Amino acid sequence: MADAFDVDAMISRFRDRAASVKKRNLPPVGGDERQRFLDQAQNDYQDYAMIGDAEASLVDGILTLTIDLRPADD
């Protein structure tokens, strides 16, 4: 399985998911449900975008994702 696993394709799928969340239509909900939907969309985007930005390596069947969370230098 690990030999057939395409790390770059996985990262690309997460980038696509992050982009999809940004384009997600808001369902016809209001009030608290609307805020929960917006909060979940933000969390989904953040999670997918982080993995989409990760540096990945697959060594001896172990997938390692490195995500730099340090603030960008100005």
Per residue in 11-24, pLDDT tens? Answer: 999 999 999 999 98
- Write the pLDDT tens digit of every residue in 22-69: 998 887 888 888 889 899 999 999 999 999 999 999 999 899 999 998
Gyration radius (Cα) of the chain, Å: 16
pLDDT at 71 over 60: yes
Amino acid identity, position 50:
M
CA distance 29 to 38: 11
For residue 2, the model assigns a pLDDT of 47
Task: State how far the alpha carbon of 55 is from the alpha carbons of 19, 22, 43, 71, 74, in Å.
Answer: 18, 22, 20, 17, 22
